[in-house]
Structure 1
Amino acid sequence: MGILDGKRILVAGVTMDSSIGFAVAKIAQEQGATVVISNFGRALGITRRIAKRLPVEPAVLELDVTDDDHLAGLADALGEHVDGLDGVVHSIAYGNPETLLGGKFLDGPWPDVAQAVQVSAYSLKSLSTACLPLMSSGGSIVGMTFDAGVAWPAYDWMGVAKAGLESTSRYLARDLGPQGIRCNLVSAGPLKTLAAKAIPGFEDLEAMWSTRAPLGWDETDHGPTARAVCALMSDFFPATTGEIVHVDGGFHAMGA
Protein backbone atom coordinates (compact mmCIF):
# COMPACT_ATOMS: atom_id res chain seq x y z
CA MET A 1 0.00 0.00 0.00
CA GLY A 2 1.46 3.35 -1.07
CA ILE A 3 0.96 6.85 0.31
CA LEU A 4 -0.94 7.84 -2.85
CA ASP A 5 -3.25 4.85 -3.10
CA GLY A 6 -6.40 5.87 -4.94
CA LYS A 7 -5.16 9.38 -5.72
CA ARG A 8 -5.72 10.87 -9.16
CA ILE A 9 -2.90 13.17 -10.19
CA LEU A 10 -2.09 15.40 -13.14
CA VAL A 11 1.61 16.00 -13.74
CA ALA A 12 1.85 18.95 -16.11
CA GLY A 13 5.12 19.51 -17.91
CA VAL A 14 6.68 16.11 -18.65
CA THR A 15 9.07 16.09 -21.59
CA MET A 16 12.05 13.77 -21.19
CA ASP A 17 12.63 10.86 -18.84
CA SER A 18 15.32 13.08 -17.31
CA SER A 19 12.72 15.66 -16.23
CA ILE A 20 11.53 16.18 -12.67
CA GLY A 21 7.96 15.67 -13.85
CA PHE A 22 8.79 12.20 -15.17
CA ALA A 23 10.38 11.24 -11.84
CA VAL A 24 7.30 12.50 -10.00
CA ALA A 25 4.97 10.54 -12.27
CA LYS A 26 7.02 7.37 -11.75
CA ILE A 27 7.09 7.57 -7.97
CA ALA A 28 3.43 8.62 -7.81
CA GLN A 29 2.50 5.49 -9.76
CA GLU A 30 4.69 3.35 -7.53
CA GLN A 31 2.86 4.84 -4.54
CA GLY A 32 -0.54 3.86 -5.94
CA ALA A 33 -1.70 6.93 -7.87
CA THR A 34 -3.46 7.07 -11.21
CA VAL A 35 -1.42 9.57 -13.21
CA VAL A 36 -2.15 11.72 -16.26
CA ILE A 37 0.71 13.68 -17.84
CA SER A 38 0.78 16.59 -20.28
CA ASN A 39 2.87 18.57 -22.72
CA PHE A 40 2.22 20.46 -25.95
CA GLY A 41 3.49 21.32 -29.39
CA ARG A 42 6.47 19.52 -30.91
CA ALA A 43 7.46 18.12 -27.51
CA LEU A 44 4.16 16.25 -27.22
CA GLY A 45 5.41 13.45 -29.45
CA ILE A 46 8.44 12.97 -27.20
CA THR A 47 6.21 12.89 -24.14
CA ARG A 48 4.01 10.20 -25.68
CA ARG A 49 7.08 8.06 -26.38
CA ILE A 50 8.66 8.41 -22.96
CA ALA A 51 5.29 7.77 -21.26
CA LYS A 52 5.78 4.13 -22.25
CA ARG A 53 8.79 4.01 -19.90
CA LEU A 54 6.68 4.62 -16.81
CA PRO A 55 5.53 1.62 -14.72
CA VAL A 56 2.02 2.08 -16.15
CA GLU A 57 1.62 3.96 -19.42
CA PRO A 58 -0.46 7.04 -18.49
CA ALA A 59 -2.87 9.09 -20.54
CA VAL A 60 -1.07 12.00 -22.23
CA LEU A 61 -2.91 15.29 -22.79
CA GLU A 62 -1.97 18.25 -24.92
CA LEU A 63 -1.85 21.27 -22.64
CA ASP A 64 -0.30 24.65 -23.33
CA VAL A 65 -0.81 26.65 -20.14
CA THR A 66 -0.75 29.90 -22.13
CA ASP A 67 -3.61 28.75 -24.40
CA ASP A 68 -7.03 29.77 -23.08
CA ASP A 69 -8.78 27.11 -25.15
CA HIS A 70 -6.58 24.36 -23.73
CA LEU A 71 -7.26 25.57 -20.20
CA ALA A 72 -11.00 25.88 -20.78
CA GLY A 73 -11.15 22.32 -22.07
CA LEU A 74 -8.81 20.78 -19.52
CA ALA A 75 -11.45 19.53 -17.07
CA ASP A 76 -13.34 17.78 -19.86
CA ALA A 77 -10.15 16.30 -21.30
CA LEU A 78 -9.13 14.98 -17.89
CA GLY A 79 -12.66 13.70 -17.32
CA GLU A 80 -12.13 11.19 -20.13
CA HIS A 81 -9.49 9.46 -18.00
CA VAL A 82 -10.25 10.20 -14.33
CA ASP A 83 -13.43 11.02 -12.42
CA GLY A 84 -11.76 13.73 -10.36
CA LEU A 85 -8.38 15.06 -9.24
CA ASP A 86 -6.62 14.83 -5.89
CA GLY A 87 -3.34 16.36 -6.97
CA VAL A 88 -1.83 18.69 -9.56
CA VAL A 89 1.90 18.99 -10.19
CA HIS A 90 3.12 22.14 -11.93
CA SER A 91 6.50 21.28 -13.44
CA ILE A 92 6.53 24.08 -16.00
CA ALA A 93 8.94 26.95 -16.62
CA TYR A 94 10.47 28.78 -19.54
CA GLY A 95 12.74 31.74 -20.11
CA ASN A 96 14.47 32.48 -23.41
CA PRO A 97 18.12 31.55 -22.68
CA GLU A 98 19.36 33.83 -25.46
CA THR A 99 17.86 36.99 -23.97
CA LEU A 100 17.07 36.41 -20.29
CA LEU A 101 19.73 34.12 -18.82
CA GLY A 102 23.49 33.87 -18.46
CA GLY A 103 24.23 37.42 -17.33
CA LYS A 104 21.68 39.22 -19.50
CA PHE A 105 19.56 40.68 -16.70
CA LEU A 106 20.08 44.35 -17.61
CA ASP A 107 19.29 43.72 -21.26
CA GLY A 108 16.27 41.40 -20.97
CA PRO A 109 13.49 42.68 -23.27
CA TRP A 110 9.98 43.00 -21.81
CA PRO A 111 8.21 40.68 -24.28
CA ASP A 112 10.54 37.83 -23.28
CA VAL A 113 10.27 38.72 -19.59
CA ALA A 114 6.47 38.76 -19.87
CA GLN A 115 6.53 35.33 -21.50
CA ALA A 116 8.77 33.94 -18.76
CA VAL A 117 6.49 35.29 -16.03
CA GLN A 118 3.35 33.98 -17.74
CA VAL A 119 4.74 30.49 -18.36
CA SER A 120 6.66 30.11 -15.11
CA ALA A 121 4.49 31.94 -12.55
CA TYR A 122 1.04 33.00 -13.77
CA SER A 123 0.47 29.51 -15.16
CA LEU A 124 0.38 28.08 -11.64
CA LYS A 125 -2.82 30.07 -11.13
CA SER A 126 -4.12 29.26 -14.62
CA LEU A 127 -3.54 25.53 -14.22
CA SER A 128 -4.97 25.46 -10.71
CA THR A 129 -8.21 27.22 -11.60
CA ALA A 130 -8.61 25.08 -14.73
CA CYS A 131 -8.46 21.97 -12.53
CA LEU A 132 -10.86 23.24 -9.85
CA PRO A 133 -13.98 21.61 -11.34
CA LEU A 134 -12.37 18.21 -10.69
CA MET A 135 -11.17 19.03 -7.15
CA SER A 136 -14.50 19.35 -5.36
CA SER A 137 -13.22 17.14 -2.54
CA GLY A 138 -10.07 19.19 -1.99
CA GLY A 139 -6.57 18.15 -2.85
CA SER A 140 -2.99 19.29 -3.25
CA ILE A 141 -1.21 21.49 -5.79
CA VAL A 142 2.59 21.32 -5.88
CA GLY A 143 4.94 23.43 -8.01
CA MET A 144 8.69 23.48 -8.56
CA THR A 145 10.91 26.43 -7.72
CA PHE A 146 14.59 27.30 -7.42
CA ASP A 147 15.10 29.40 -4.30
CA ALA A 148 14.10 32.92 -5.35
CA GLY A 149 15.08 34.52 -2.06
CA VAL A 150 18.52 35.47 -3.41
CA ALA A 151 20.09 36.50 -6.73
CA TRP A 152 21.94 33.63 -8.43
CA PRO A 153 24.67 33.70 -11.09
CA ALA A 154 23.27 33.10 -14.58
CA TYR A 155 19.63 32.72 -13.46
CA ASP A 156 18.68 36.38 -14.00
CA TRP A 157 15.07 36.87 -15.16
CA MET A 158 14.14 33.27 -14.35
CA GLY A 159 14.90 34.17 -10.75
CA VAL A 160 12.38 36.99 -11.01
CA ALA A 161 9.84 34.60 -12.56
CA LYS A 162 10.41 32.09 -9.76
CA ALA A 163 9.90 34.85 -7.19
CA GLY A 164 6.55 35.47 -8.86
CA LEU A 165 5.80 31.76 -8.71
CA GLU A 166 6.53 31.66 -4.98
CA SER A 167 4.23 34.60 -4.32
CA THR A 168 1.53 33.11 -6.54
CA SER A 169 1.67 29.90 -4.52
CA ARG A 170 1.06 31.78 -1.28
CA TYR A 171 -1.97 33.61 -2.69
CA LEU A 172 -3.38 30.36 -4.07
CA ALA A 173 -2.91 28.82 -0.62
CA ARG A 174 -4.94 31.70 0.80
CA ASP A 175 -7.76 31.57 -1.74
CA LEU A 176 -8.04 27.81 -2.24
CA GLY A 177 -7.62 26.78 1.40
CA PRO A 178 -11.32 27.23 2.19
CA GLN A 179 -12.02 24.63 -0.51
CA GLY A 180 -9.69 22.16 1.14
CA ILE A 181 -6.96 22.62 -1.47
CA ARG A 182 -3.35 23.02 -0.37
CA CYS A 183 -0.70 24.74 -2.49
CA ASN A 184 3.00 24.25 -1.83
CA LEU A 185 6.31 24.40 -3.67
CA VAL A 186 9.41 22.23 -3.64
CA SER A 187 12.68 24.11 -3.99
CA ALA A 188 15.19 21.67 -5.40
CA GLY A 189 18.92 22.03 -5.73
CA PRO A 190 20.39 22.10 -9.25
CA LEU A 191 19.42 19.01 -11.23
CA LYS A 192 20.55 17.91 -14.65
CA THR A 193 17.44 18.43 -16.75
CA LEU A 194 16.72 19.65 -20.26
CA ALA A 195 15.83 23.06 -18.82
CA ALA A 196 19.07 23.30 -16.86
CA LYS A 197 21.13 22.56 -19.96
CA ALA A 198 19.62 25.63 -21.60
CA ILE A 199 20.91 27.99 -18.91
CA PRO A 200 24.32 29.46 -19.82
CA GLY A 201 26.63 29.15 -16.82
CA PHE A 202 24.37 26.76 -14.88
CA GLU A 203 27.42 24.64 -14.11
CA ASP A 204 28.60 27.46 -11.85
CA LEU A 205 25.51 26.91 -9.70
CA GLU A 206 26.05 23.16 -9.62
CA ALA A 207 29.62 23.62 -8.42
CA MET A 208 28.51 25.45 -5.27
CA TRP A 209 26.61 22.43 -3.96
CA SER A 210 29.69 20.17 -3.89
CA THR A 211 31.19 22.06 -0.94
CA ARG A 212 28.23 23.71 0.81
CA ALA A 213 25.45 21.12 0.97
CA PRO A 214 25.93 19.31 4.32
CA LEU A 215 24.07 16.22 3.13
CA GLY A 216 25.85 16.28 -0.21
CA TRP A 217 24.06 16.63 -3.51
CA ASP A 218 23.75 14.44 -6.58
CA GLU A 219 22.53 16.55 -9.48
CA THR A 220 21.68 13.41 -11.45
CA ASP A 221 19.32 11.98 -8.81
CA HIS A 222 15.77 13.29 -9.18
CA GLY A 223 14.42 10.84 -6.61
CA PRO A 224 14.62 12.98 -3.45
CA THR A 225 12.83 15.87 -5.16
CA ALA A 226 10.14 13.64 -6.66
CA ARG A 227 9.52 11.93 -3.32
CA ALA A 228 9.05 15.30 -1.63
CA VAL A 229 6.48 16.28 -4.25
CA CYS A 230 4.63 13.00 -3.75
CA ALA A 231 4.70 13.41 0.02
CA LEU A 232 3.08 16.85 -0.30
CA MET A 233 0.36 15.34 -2.47
CA SER A 234 -0.32 12.64 0.09
CA ASP A 235 -2.46 12.83 3.21
CA PHE A 236 0.64 13.15 5.41
CA PHE A 237 0.62 16.97 5.13
CA PRO A 238 -3.04 17.83 5.73
CA ALA A 239 -2.36 21.17 7.43
CA THR A 240 0.57 22.42 5.34
CA THR A 241 -0.03 25.06 2.69
CA GLY A 242 1.76 28.14 1.36
CA GLU A 243 5.03 26.40 2.17
CA ILE A 244 8.33 26.03 0.28
CA VAL A 245 10.01 22.72 1.07
CA HIS A 246 13.74 22.75 0.33
CA VAL A 247 15.20 19.59 -1.14
CA ASP A 248 18.76 20.74 -1.69
CA GLY A 249 20.98 18.78 0.67
CA GLY A 250 20.68 21.60 3.24
CA PHE A 251 22.43 24.17 1.03
CA HIS A 252 19.80 26.85 1.70
CA ALA A 253 20.52 26.85 5.45
CA MET A 254 24.28 27.31 5.21
CA GLY A 255 26.29 30.53 5.27
CA ALA A 256 29.39 31.22 3.20
Structure 2
Amino acid sequence: MSGILAGKQILVTGVITERSIAYAVARRAQLEGATVVLTGFGRLSLVERVARRLPQPAPVVELDVTDTPQLASLAARLDPHVDGLDGILHSIAFAPQTCLGGGFPTAPWADVSTAMEVSAYSLAALAAACRPLLRAHASIVGLDFDATKAWPDYDWMGVAKSALESTCRYLARYLGPEGIRVNLVAAGPLRTVAALSVPDGTGIESDWAIRAPLGWDPQDREPVARACTALLSDWFSATTGEILHVDGGRHAVGA
Protein backbone atom coordinates (compact mmCIF):
# COMPACT_ATOMS: atom_id res chain seq x y z
CA MET A 1 0.00 0.00 0.00
CA SER A 2 1.30 3.45 -0.88
CA GLY A 3 1.13 6.50 1.34
CA ILE A 4 3.38 8.53 3.63
CA LEU A 5 3.23 5.82 6.31
CA ALA A 6 3.69 2.85 3.98
CA GLY A 7 5.41 0.02 5.85
CA LYS A 8 5.27 1.85 9.19
CA GLN A 9 4.03 0.25 12.40
CA ILE A 10 2.15 2.67 14.65
CA LEU A 11 0.78 2.41 18.19
CA VAL A 12 -2.32 4.55 18.80
CA THR A 13 -3.56 5.12 22.35
CA GLY A 14 -6.77 6.68 23.53
CA VAL A 15 -9.32 5.36 21.05
CA ILE A 16 -12.68 5.48 22.85
CA THR A 17 -15.30 6.03 20.14
CA GLU A 18 -15.36 6.80 16.43
CA ARG A 19 -15.61 10.47 17.41
CA SER A 20 -12.26 10.45 19.21
CA ILE A 21 -9.27 12.19 17.68
CA ALA A 22 -7.27 8.99 18.17
CA TYR A 23 -9.72 7.06 15.99
CA ALA A 24 -9.38 9.67 13.25
CA VAL A 25 -5.57 9.37 13.46
CA ALA A 26 -5.70 5.56 13.39
CA ARG A 27 -7.95 5.67 10.34
CA ARG A 28 -5.80 8.20 8.49
CA ALA A 29 -2.62 6.28 9.38
CA GLN A 30 -4.07 3.10 7.89
CA LEU A 31 -5.16 4.94 4.75
CA GLU A 32 -1.55 6.16 4.45
CA GLY A 33 -0.23 2.59 4.59
CA ALA A 34 0.51 1.98 8.28
CA THR A 35 -0.06 -1.12 10.37
CA VAL A 36 -1.89 0.11 13.47
CA VAL A 37 -2.21 -1.34 16.96
CA LEU A 38 -4.54 0.26 19.50
CA THR A 39 -4.44 0.37 23.27
CA GLY A 40 -7.55 0.34 25.39
CA PHE A 41 -8.38 1.05 29.02
CA GLY A 42 -11.37 -0.19 30.96
CA ARG A 43 -14.07 -1.78 28.84
CA LEU A 44 -11.87 -3.34 26.16
CA SER A 45 -14.87 -4.82 24.36
CA LEU A 46 -15.95 -1.30 23.38
CA VAL A 47 -12.50 -0.44 22.02
CA GLU A 48 -12.37 -3.74 20.15
CA ARG A 49 -15.75 -2.98 18.59
CA VAL A 50 -14.48 0.41 17.43
CA ALA A 51 -11.24 -1.18 16.18
CA ARG A 52 -13.27 -3.39 13.83
CA ARG A 53 -14.72 -0.28 12.17
CA LEU A 54 -11.35 0.93 10.93
CA PRO A 55 -10.49 0.38 7.26
CA GLN A 56 -8.52 -2.67 8.48
CA PRO A 57 -9.52 -4.19 11.86
CA ALA A 58 -6.76 -3.46 14.36
CA PRO A 59 -5.62 -5.47 17.40
CA VAL A 60 -6.19 -3.95 20.84
CA VAL A 61 -3.76 -4.23 23.76
CA GLU A 62 -4.83 -3.29 27.27
CA LEU A 63 -3.00 -0.34 28.82
CA ASP A 64 -3.61 1.65 31.98
CA VAL A 65 -0.80 4.22 32.04
CA THR A 66 -0.99 4.40 35.84
CA ASP A 67 -0.41 0.63 36.15
CA THR A 68 3.34 -0.02 36.47
CA PRO A 69 3.14 -3.78 35.67
CA GLN A 70 1.11 -3.07 32.52
CA LEU A 71 3.66 -0.51 31.37
CA ALA A 72 6.52 -2.90 32.13
CA SER A 73 4.93 -5.66 30.05
CA LEU A 74 3.71 -3.47 27.18
CA ALA A 75 6.58 -4.18 24.79
CA ALA A 76 6.18 -7.95 25.28
CA ARG A 77 2.42 -7.74 24.78
CA LEU A 78 2.89 -5.77 21.56
CA ASP A 79 5.35 -8.34 20.23
CA PRO A 80 2.70 -10.63 18.64
CA HIS A 81 1.43 -7.72 16.57
CA VAL A 82 4.53 -5.75 15.54
CA ASP A 83 8.27 -6.38 15.28
CA GLY A 84 9.06 -2.77 16.14
CA LEU A 85 7.46 0.66 16.31
CA ASP A 86 7.92 3.55 13.92
CA GLY A 87 5.47 5.81 15.71
CA ILE A 88 3.30 6.35 18.76
CA LEU A 89 0.26 8.56 19.20
CA HIS A 90 -0.25 9.67 22.81
CA SER A 91 -3.91 10.58 23.17
CA ILE A 92 -4.37 10.19 26.92
CA ALA A 93 -5.71 12.78 29.35
CA PHE A 94 -7.93 12.78 32.41
CA ALA A 95 -8.75 15.06 35.33
CA PRO A 96 -11.25 14.39 38.14
CA GLN A 97 -14.24 16.70 38.11
CA THR A 98 -12.89 18.50 41.20
CA CYS A 99 -10.08 19.79 38.97
CA LEU A 100 -12.41 21.34 36.38
CA GLY A 101 -15.30 23.77 36.21
CA GLY A 102 -14.01 26.38 38.63
CA GLY A 103 -12.52 23.95 41.11
CA PHE A 104 -8.97 25.21 40.64
CA PRO A 105 -8.59 26.90 44.07
CA THR A 106 -10.01 23.96 46.04
CA ALA A 107 -9.02 20.81 44.14
CA PRO A 108 -7.21 18.39 46.49
CA TRP A 109 -3.68 17.29 45.67
CA ALA A 110 -4.76 13.66 45.30
CA ASP A 111 -6.98 14.65 42.36
CA VAL A 112 -4.47 17.12 40.92
CA SER A 113 -1.74 14.48 41.02
CA THR A 114 -4.01 12.09 39.12
CA ALA A 115 -4.53 14.71 36.42
CA MET A 116 -0.79 15.31 36.16
CA GLU A 117 0.12 11.62 36.10
CA VAL A 118 -2.41 10.62 33.47
CA SER A 119 -2.23 13.73 31.29
CA ALA A 120 1.49 14.63 31.38
CA TYR A 121 3.76 12.07 33.04
CA SER A 122 2.17 9.32 30.96
CA LEU A 123 3.89 10.69 27.83
CA ALA A 124 7.28 9.91 29.37
CA ALA A 125 6.03 6.62 30.85
CA LEU A 126 4.67 5.49 27.49
CA ALA A 127 7.90 6.42 25.70
CA ALA A 128 9.94 4.47 28.26
CA ALA A 129 7.66 1.43 28.02
CA CYS A 130 7.92 1.36 24.21
CA ARG A 131 11.60 2.25 23.99
CA PRO A 132 12.77 -1.33 23.34
CA LEU A 133 10.57 -1.38 20.22
CA LEU A 134 11.24 2.12 18.90
CA ARG A 135 13.24 2.16 15.70
CA ALA A 136 15.70 4.87 14.77
CA HIS A 137 13.81 7.78 13.20
CA ALA A 138 10.64 6.83 15.10
CA SER A 139 8.17 9.59 15.94
CA ILE A 140 6.14 10.18 19.10
CA VAL A 141 3.19 12.54 18.74
CA GLY A 142 0.98 13.78 21.58
CA LEU A 143 -2.30 15.67 21.56
CA ASP A 144 -2.29 19.07 23.24
CA PHE A 145 -4.51 22.08 23.88
CA ASP A 146 -3.23 25.66 24.02
CA ALA A 147 -1.55 25.99 27.43
CA THR A 148 -0.42 29.61 27.02
CA LYS A 149 -3.72 30.96 28.39
CA ALA A 150 -6.08 30.27 31.29
CA TRP A 151 -9.28 28.98 29.69
CA PRO A 152 -12.69 29.05 31.42
CA ASP A 153 -13.25 25.94 33.53
CA TYR A 154 -10.21 24.11 32.08
CA ASP A 155 -8.39 24.70 35.36
CA TRP A 156 -5.91 21.95 36.38
CA MET A 157 -6.12 20.31 32.98
CA GLY A 158 -4.57 23.49 31.61
CA VAL A 159 -1.71 23.10 34.08
CA ALA A 160 -1.37 19.46 33.06
CA LYS A 161 -1.13 20.52 29.41
CA SER A 162 1.67 22.94 30.33
CA ALA A 163 3.45 20.03 31.97
CA LEU A 164 2.81 17.90 28.87
CA GLU A 165 4.48 20.54 26.70
CA SER A 166 7.53 20.64 28.95
CA THR A 167 7.65 16.83 29.02
CA CYS A 168 7.66 16.85 25.22
CA ARG A 169 10.68 19.16 25.14
CA TYR A 170 12.65 17.09 27.64
CA LEU A 171 11.84 13.84 25.85
CA ALA A 172 12.93 15.44 22.58
CA ARG A 173 16.23 16.33 24.24
CA TYR A 174 16.88 12.86 25.64
CA LEU A 175 15.58 10.76 22.74
CA GLY A 176 16.99 12.92 19.95
CA PRO A 177 20.44 11.25 19.98
CA GLU A 178 18.63 7.98 19.17
CA GLY A 179 16.95 9.64 16.21
CA ILE A 180 13.55 9.62 17.91
CA ARG A 181 11.38 12.72 17.46
CA VAL A 182 8.79 13.96 19.98
CA ASN A 183 6.19 16.57 19.03
CA LEU A 184 2.73 17.75 20.03
CA VAL A 185 -0.30 18.80 18.02
CA ALA A 186 -2.30 21.56 19.75
CA ALA A 187 -5.80 21.11 18.41
CA GLY A 188 -8.69 23.49 18.60
CA PRO A 189 -11.77 22.33 20.56
CA LEU A 190 -13.39 19.24 19.06
CA ARG A 191 -16.58 17.50 20.10
CA THR A 192 -15.22 14.34 21.66
CA VAL A 193 -16.14 12.32 24.74
CA ALA A 194 -13.19 13.90 26.57
CA ALA A 195 -14.39 17.41 25.71
CA LEU A 196 -17.73 16.72 27.39
CA SER A 197 -15.99 16.61 30.77
CA VAL A 198 -15.15 20.34 30.54
CA PRO A 199 -18.25 22.16 31.86
CA ASP A 200 -17.99 25.24 29.60
CA GLY A 201 -16.59 23.50 26.56
CA THR A 202 -19.25 25.00 24.30
CA GLY A 203 -18.20 28.51 25.40
CA ILE A 204 -14.62 27.88 24.32
CA GLU A 205 -15.90 26.33 21.11
CA SER A 206 -18.04 29.35 20.19
CA ASP A 207 -15.14 31.72 20.91
CA TRP A 208 -12.95 29.67 18.56
CA ALA A 209 -15.45 29.86 15.72
CA ILE A 210 -15.50 33.67 16.00
CA ARG A 211 -11.79 34.36 16.50
CA ALA A 212 -9.97 31.72 14.43
CA PRO A 213 -8.83 33.44 11.19
CA LEU A 214 -9.52 30.28 9.19
CA GLY A 215 -12.70 29.49 11.07
CA TRP A 216 -13.15 26.29 13.04
CA ASP A 217 -15.44 23.27 12.72
CA PRO A 218 -15.61 21.39 16.05
CA GLN A 219 -17.01 18.33 14.28
CA ASP A 220 -14.12 17.93 11.82
CA ARG A 221 -11.26 15.86 13.24
CA GLU A 222 -9.59 15.29 9.88
CA PRO A 223 -7.24 18.34 9.91
CA VAL A 224 -5.83 17.20 13.26
CA ALA A 225 -5.59 13.59 12.09
CA ARG A 226 -3.68 14.65 8.98
CA ALA A 227 -1.25 16.77 11.03
CA CYS A 228 -0.56 13.88 13.41
CA THR A 229 -0.08 11.53 10.47
CA ALA A 230 2.38 13.90 8.85
CA LEU A 231 4.41 14.15 12.08
CA LEU A 232 4.39 10.36 12.40
CA SER A 233 5.82 10.11 8.90
CA ASP A 234 9.35 10.90 7.70
CA TRP A 235 8.21 14.25 6.28
CA PHE A 236 9.22 16.09 9.48
CA SER A 237 12.54 14.34 9.88
CA ALA A 238 14.31 17.35 11.44
CA THR A 239 11.46 18.53 13.68
CA THR A 240 11.33 17.68 17.38
CA GLY A 241 10.24 19.36 20.61
CA GLU A 242 7.69 21.29 18.56
CA ILE A 243 4.05 22.24 19.19
CA LEU A 244 2.15 22.28 15.90
CA HIS A 245 -1.08 24.27 16.16
CA VAL A 246 -4.03 22.93 14.20
CA ASP A 247 -6.64 25.36 15.48
CA GLY A 248 -7.67 27.57 12.58
CA GLY A 249 -5.06 30.10 13.69
CA ARG A 250 -6.80 30.99 16.98
CA HIS A 251 -3.53 30.85 18.96
CA ALA A 252 -2.02 33.60 16.79
CA VAL A 253 -4.60 36.32 17.42
CA GLY A 254 -5.77 38.32 20.40
CA ALA A 255 -9.21 39.68 21.16
Structure 1 length normalisation: TM-score?
A: 0.98
- 2:10 is equivalent to residue 3 of structure 1: no
Cα distance in 1, alignment partners of residues 108 and 29 from structure 2: 39
Per the TM alignment, residue 198 of structure 1 is displaced from its structure 2 partner at its CA by 1.3
Deviates more, 1:133-142 or 1:211-220: 133-142
Per the TM alignment, residue 75 of structure 1 is displaced from its structure 2 partner at its CA by 0.6
Cα distance in 2, alignment partners of residues 90 and 129 from structure 1: 13
Amino acid aligned to 2:188: G
**Residue 62 (structure 1) aligns with:** 62
Is the contact made by 2:93 and 2:118 (CA closer than 8 Å) also made in structure 1?
yes
Q: How many residues align?
A: 254
**Residue 77 (structure 2) aligns with:** 77
Per the TM alignment, residue 45 of structure 1 is displaced from its structure 2 partner at its CA by 1.7
- 2:14 is equivalent to residue 39 of structure 1: no
Cα distance in 1, alignment partners of residues 45 and 147 from structure 2: 32
- 2:129 is equivalent to residue 133 of structure 1: no
Per the TM alignment, residue 210 of structure 1 is displaced from its structure 2 partner at its CA by 1.5
Per the TM alignment, residue 134 of structure 1 is displaced from its structure 2 partner at its CA by 0.5
SS across alignment from 2:5: coil
Per the TM alignment, residue 138 of structure 1 is displaced from its structure 2 partner at its CA by 3.2
Amino acid aligned to 2:120: A
> What runs of 5+ residues in structure 1 fail to find an aligned partner?
none
Over 6 Å off, 4+ runs: none
Amino acid aligned to 2:78: L
Amino acid aligned to 1:55: P
Cα distance in 1, alignment partners of residues 132 and 116 from structure 2: 25
Identity across matched positions, percent: 60
- 1:66-107 deviation per Cα after TM superposition (whole angstroms, max 9, x unaligned): 11111111111111101000000000000012x011111101
- 2:237 is equivalent to residue 238 of structure 1: yes
Amino acid aligned to 1:80: P
SS across alignment from 2:39: strand
**Residue 188 (structure 2) aligns with:** 189
Cα distance in 2, alignment partners of residues 160 and 192 from structure 1: 21
Cα distance in 1, alignment partners of residues 204 and 148 from structure 2: 15
**Residue 252 (structure 1) aligns with:** 251
**Residue 52 (structure 1) aligns with:** 52
- 1:43-72 deviation per Cα after TM superposition (whole angstroms, max 9, x unaligned): x22101111110000010000111111111
